[in-house]
Amino acid sequence: MRDRWMAVLIGLALCVSAGCSESNPVAHPSDQTVLLQGAVSKGDAAAIGALHLEDAQIIPPDTGEPVKGRAAVEALWQARMDDGLKAIVFSSGERRGDGDKQFETGTYTSRNVAGEIDVGKYFTVWQLVDQTWMVSRHTWASDLEEAGVAGEPEANSEADVAPERPQPDTATE
C-alpha cells in the first residue's frame, strides 16, 4: 500500500513540475497537426476547417492571394484533395511564442493519389482559444516548385507518405 501511495505522490509531483493544470491547453499544436494530417488522409475538409479560427487566413503559394475565413479554408483544402492530395506530414523545426500565440516553422512532405511527392517549408501561427490551439495563419512553399522539379512517383510505394506524429520540436516558452 505504501508503494502505491509513493507512486501517486511521484505522479502528482511530475504533473505539477510539468505544469499539469486546468490552465494548460487541452491540445498542444503538435497534437492538432496530427489531427490535420489524419483529416487529409481521410479527405475530411470539414475536420481540417474545424482546426482553423473563424477568421483564419491561408496564403497558398500558387495564388498569391490570402484565403480568408474558416469556410474558405475548408473549401481550399477540399479543392486540394479533389485535385489528388492524399497525405501530408508536417515536421516542426522550431516553435516560439508565449501566452496564447505560437509561431511555428518546419518542413512538409505530401503525396498525391498518383504517388507524386512534394516537399517544402511552412509557417503557421497558432492561437489558443478556449484551451484549444487553432490555426490563425498558414503559408507554405514547395522546394520542388522553386527548383523547377516536378514531383515524381516514388519507386517504393511502401515508403509513401503517411500521417504520423511529428518529431519533437524545439519550443521555447
Q: Could you tell me which residues come within 8 angstroms of residue 135 by beta carbon, excluding any fewer than 6 positions away?
A: 32, 51, 52, 53, 56, 73, 124, 125, 126, 127
Nearest residue to 97 via CA among 118, 124, 76: 124
Helices and strands per DSSP (H, E), number in the chain: 5, 6
Query: Is this model's pTM higher than 0.85 or not?
Result: no
**How large is the average pLDDT for residues 130-143?**
95
The alpha carbon of residue 78 and the mean position of all alpha carbons in its chain are separated, in whole angstroms, by 16
Q: What does the pLDDT look like over 25-73, one tens digit per residue?
A: 556 888 899 999 999 999 999 999 999 999 999 999 888 789 999 999 9
Domain ranges, ordered by start, for the chain: 26-159
Say if domain 26-159 classifies as CATH 3.40.190.10: no
Q: What does the pLDDT look like over 88-136, one tens digit per residue?
A: 999 999 999 988 999 999 999 999 999 999 999 999 999 999 999 999 9
